[in-house]
Amino acid sequence: MEIVSAREFRKSQGRFLMAAREGRSVMLTSRYGNFKITPVTEDDEIVAKDIRNAYAEVIAHMNGDMELPKAKDIVF
């Protein structure tokens, strides 16, 4: 695992992003906490798409364009 400060990351971020992309662990340390830099995977993109779709359904419901099922209809 490579541990870098926020200052060092800003200075050479391309190098650290490429390292993460190649599968090497990169940990960024800063006064705000520690963060692990990892590339986005296909699973992450699928989850993001599901969240966007769910959000769109909620907005459509709030605008009166869509009726959502009631919880009791889903559970029972």
Query: Which of 8, 62, 59 lies closest to 30 in space, CA to CA?
Result: 8
Question: Collapsing DSSP states into helix, strand and coil, what is residue 37?
Answer: strand
| CATH 3.40.1620 placement within the chain | 2-37
pLDDT tens per residue, range 12-71: 999 999 999 898 889 999 999 999 998 877 777 777 788 888 889 999 999 999 888 888
2-37: in CATH 3.30.160: no
